[in-house]
């Protein structure tokens, strides 16, 4: 770990006005403050709550087709046909 300039440490602790820092320390101060703000920010909301809410919903009732419609679909469905010819 590299040592930190005491003036920068004082500015970070609030004991010194950051405007009094030299340019290079002012840039370091700005980078450190922005990094601290990113770390302090709350993480993005997880989608887990929404996913679990969808899972817990009762399933949607699907109306089944009547027997006549099922028979028509069964007859219209393509089927594999094998033809063998013997000499």
φ, ψ at 13 (rounded to 5°): -80, -10
Query: What is the reported pLDDT for 36?
Result: 92
Query: What is the reported pLDDT for 49?
Result: 84
For residue 75, give both structure tokens. Answer: 């007859």
Q: Which residues contact 12 (CB under 8 A, 6 or more apart)?
A: 29, 32, 33
Query: What is the reported pLDDT for 1?
Result: 60
pTM for the full predicted model = 0.47
Task: Specify whether the CB–CB gap between 7 and 16 falls below 8 A.
Answer: yes
Compute the Cα dihedral for 31, 37, 42, 44 and give only its sign: negative
Alpha-carbon distance 34 to 15, whole Å?
19
Q: Has residue 58 got a pLDDT over 90?
A: no
Q: What average pLDDT does range 79-85 have in this prediction?
A: 91
């Amino acid at each position: 770990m590299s040592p930190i300039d005491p003036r920068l440490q004082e500015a970070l602790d609030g004991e010194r006005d950051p405007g009094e820092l030299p340019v290079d320390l002012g840039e370091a101060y700005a980078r450190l403050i922005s990094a601290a703000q990113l770390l302090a920010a709350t993480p993005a909301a997880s989608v887990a709550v929404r996913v679990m809410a969808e899972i817990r919903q009762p399933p949607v009732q699907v109306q089944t087709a009547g027997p006549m419609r099922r028979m028509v679909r069964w007859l219209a469905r393509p089927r594999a046909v094998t033809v063998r010819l013997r000499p």
